Amino acid sequence: GQQLNQSPQSMFIQEGEDVSMNCTSSSIFNTWLWYKQDPGEGPVLLIALYKAGELTSNGRLTAQFGITRKDSFLNISASIPSDVGIYFCAGQMNSGTYKYIFGTGTRLKVLA
């Protein structure tokens, strides 16, 4: 199926560092979601974005809905070991269908 391009694919960072990842597409989206998946668990919703240019925070996490509606960004500030996991973006093209296309994922590893 169709997937969104997410980068970086994986990253190792030191505890305390800030992290940035992004999701891009050639298509326009109406909604962007960001999820975190821990090993052996289902994805957990972190942030939902509904308007172009929207900037939303959830604790140390901040996400933005790109102004072109073709991309989204997630930043994690002052990373901690429990930030380890896989982060997925998901985009919805048509509001009426409730169907989402998922990114390829960013695997984050935090070194204490």
Binding site for other proteins (CB under 8 A): 1, 3, 31, 33, 35, 40-45, 48, 88, 90, 98-100, 102-105
Nearer to other proteins, 46 or 110 (CB): 46
**Residue 71 beta carbon to other proteins: minimum distance, rounded to whole angstroms:** 17
Closest by CA position to 72, among listed 12, 107, 20, 1 = 20
Nearer to other proteins, 44 or 78 (CB): 44
Residue with tokens 């909604």: 31
**Residue 46 beta carbon to other proteins: minimum distance, rounded to whole angstroms:** 11
**Residue 91 beta carbon to other proteins: minimum distance, rounded to whole angstroms:** 11
